[in-house]
Amino acid sequence: MGHIRQFMERHYRHFNARETLAAASAYREHINNGGKMLVTLAGAMSTAELGISLARMIRAGKIHAISCTGANLEEDIFNLMAHREYEIIDNWRGLQEEEEEKLYNRGMNRVTDTCIPEDVMRVLEDLLIEVWQDACDAGERKFPSEYLFQILGTPAMVSQFQINSEDSWVLAAKEAEIPVYTPGWEDSTMGNIFVANIIRRRVSDHSCVKSGTEQFQHLLEWYSDYTTEKQNDFPVGFFQIGGGIAGDFAICAAPCILQDLQKEVPAWGYFAQITDAVTSYGGYSGAVPEEKISWGKITKSTPRFSINSDASIVAPLIFGYILDD
């Protein structure tokens, strides 16, 4: 038994700690019994360097698909390419407007306590413009994640790496050949840059990047294939970090197949969320798991857990427990 697992089983006995241990144990059981797991990423998890543990989970076969924001997709790559140029601001809570303006003028984009250099975004832009335009010329269409997969192995990209490549979850996803969905990709730096370069005529048109609805169709097919393969014994589980579009996009797969396609598949077979949101404001991020029963996303028998905490602290612990660290 790993040290993290020993520690959690010894100390995590009540309240959010007990819920964290229960979620980790049920995740482990789900995978050990042959189930699959989709993980969703909202918030700034890639800049928080969740990739250190997330990449290991992917490589160990504990994660089989990811739905994430466009920011989480690209920020894993920013960190891979420019980690040594990042700046940490210890007193970020006390920054004044003038100090924020100085960061802007220096080309440093702040995410809480971490500043990402604008330069890395321009380097990635140049690499992506080429593959986007090549795809337009060839009449090819791909997911946003697939274009990053395409350039990750090129000499021009590898020469830019500034961290151990083992710590990049996007690179791990490419190597494991798992799908990575990015609903609302236009709400990201690379999504903005893609549109800007169409306007500037450096990329011919929008057609080379598949839309969110096309990604959703792929997700439905993926979900149907896995749940049919397992014959409903251990259907796909759902591990949600944060909330937002990354979570709600993906979890709608089961009810869409059941209610809109009118095909029999099981609801999600496990559900856990780590969130700091509360239920009183009506948002998806703070909705209790039980609400999802009314939508057909899970059932009353689905193991379900809600951990009200900081995902940058809790998620690596859960992953360490599952990996037997």
- Tokens for 188, please give them: 């990201």
Q: Which domains does the chain have, with CATH numbers?
A: 3-322 (3.40.910.10)
Kindly give the confidence (pLDDT) of every residue in the chain, 325 residues in length, as a single tens digit, with 9 standing for 90 and above: 799 999 999 999 999 999 999 999 999 999 999 999 999 999 999 999 999 999 999 999 999 999 999 999 999 999 999 999 999 999 999 999 999 999 999 999 999 999 999 999 999 999 999 999 999 999 999 999 999 999 998 998 999 999 999 999 999 999 999 999 999 999 999 999 999 999 999 999 999 999 999 999 999 999 998 887 655 566 899 999 999 999 999 999 999 999 999 999 999 999 999 998 777 676 666 678 888 899 999 999 999 999 999 999 999 999 999 999 9
- Please spell the DSSP secondary structure of 131-151, one letter per residue: HHHHHHHHT--B-HHHHHHHH
Kindly report the CA angle at 14 between 274 and 35, in degrees rounded to 5? 50
Q: What is the DSSP letter of 119?
A: H
Rounded Cα distance between 7 and 34, Å, is 26
Q: Closest Cα partner for 37 from 218, 290, 268, 312? A: 268
Exposure on the CB side of residue 142, measured as CA atoms within 13 A:
18
- Residue 273, classed as helix, strand or coil, is strand
Asked if residues 278 and 296 have their Cβ atoms less than 8 Å apart, the reply is no
- Residue 51, classed as helix, strand or coil, is helix
Which residue is it, tokens 């048109």? 205
- Tokens for 270, please give them: 């496990």
Alpha helices by DSSP H, the chain: 3-11, 15-32, 51-59, 70-82, 97-105, 118-138, 144-152, 155-158, 169-176, 189-199, 212-229, 244-251, 253-255, 311-322
User: Which residues are CB-neighbours of 44 under 8 A, at least 6 positions away?
Assistant: 71, 72, 75, 111, 112
- Residue 167, classed as helix, strand or coil, is helix
What is the number of residues in the chain?
325
